[in-house]
Structure 1
Amino acid sequence: MPLPHPDLSVGTPSLFSLKGKVCLITGGARGIGLSIAHAFLESCCAGLALTYTSSSTAPKLAEELSKQYGVSVKAYKTDVRSKEEVSKLFTDLTADFESLDVVVANAGVSFHYDSLEMPEEKYHDLMKVNVDGVWWTATEAGRAFKKQARAGGNKGNFIVTGSASSVLVNVPQKQAVYNASKAAVVHLTKSLAVEWASWGGRANAVSPGFIETDMIGSLPEEWKEKWMTMIPAERFCAPDELKGAYVFLASDASSYVTGVNLIVDGAYTLP
């Protein structure tokens, strides 16, 4: 029996609201994750959970966001490389929030090495964060979503932070393993979209190009000069310019959108 259509009679502006939705963002205390957090709070989400690994300011940040927006915001120290820690995170979320509606697997790292010179420990660390971390988060989210859907509640929405590197090979930097990790999780997202469709769960990816974060600011100037010649928009992306993409995919405005890799890159991947 096909799943029923959602009620979209609320009007177009309300479709983009996250009212009533509880959201989780891994790696949500800084960079792209923090912009997503503000976007969800500005879109009136009912509650927000952020994970962090080493930030001493994340709990204070959660308190400040909670006071600013008037909703419950909680920070959870979680190493996404660990299946056990991710499992505990979802147990804690169940205790702290009544439901879980949107999960953004955003935590990630990037290392630049020649493929023949990358240290083994760096390879494993990158893959554990960028691939294993998304997998552990996805499986826990999927179980929670499916349980809710079977009980007649929200069917759940999973969003992965991919990268333009998932569809091309960047130059001049050498980052074969990073590129492979992002291609892996984008294809994982598409696979989950097909598997979860039978009970109404959705899975999509947002793949940013070059974003003006602290990480990009620390990279060699000659790399950035090269990238600028390759981006038709002739500039990097501000983190807040990603807000619309994540809100769209998190909201009912995208109720029939699943398995998409939404590339936000100023046309960098097109030429």
Structure 2
Amino acid sequence: MNDLKRMGLAVTLPELERSADWLKAGARDVELQDICEPHVMDGDWRAVARRSAELLGDHGGRVGVHAPFWNIAIAAFDSQIRAVVQSRLNLGLDYLEAVGGTHMVIHSPFYFFGHGLVAHQDTVEAEIALAHLTIEPLVSRAADLGCILVIENILDINPAPLLALVDSFGSPHVRLSIDVGHAHITAGRGAPPAAHWLSQGASLLGHVHLQDNDGTADAHLAPGGGTVHWGSVLRELHSSGTDPRLIVEVIPGEVERAMAWIDRLEEV
């Protein structure tokens, strides 16, 4: 059983400055997202990593990072594009190593799955093979770092391809990430609700992004600010046997509301 007491936040350095004491007080899960941004990747990212590590100091909880994702396609067909993607993701692992992280989020390659213009049903095996060409060296490095790579649903309509991709590595260092807000949006396009994603992926689950929206846009609101059915989501998480990292991922203006929501959970 997962008592949800580790639930924490996704932050960049400005939000970490505001929330570090709260995160440390509960040894909460933390996800550092600065290295997602190209201006950080191509700038003095080591200084950002040092400051983040200083702020977390005696945190004692689980720390991870979100890998670069802008224009990153892990199942790219072009080998030269794959090389660039692999380089950027390796930079994410450099950042993870600098902050002492133990998970890194990577985006699913299954964009527009189920859309009539892109019939992925016939190409899943080929796409998984391409993803392996990109990811396998990273899995080896992640194992050396004591890190898990978690692959997150983005525009996925059907859980099956993403579950197949995660399972295909046969490695404890590759796990499933479910973004509750993303699942809520795709549910309006024929996908199952977020709680179903959690139950379907339970045995592979290593990470969850919790965020709310109204089902039409990826708003990243604090839970309760949209229309996600949080009762069913929290029941699934509470029954999880894999103790996934629980990360509330909201826009900067929603951080305090997110912290208050988490605090209220502990009072129930």
Which category of TM-score, normalised to the shorter sequence, fits these structures? 0.3 to 0.5
TM-score, length of structure 2 as denominator length: 0.38
- State the structure with more CA Rg: 1
TM-score (norm 1): 0.38
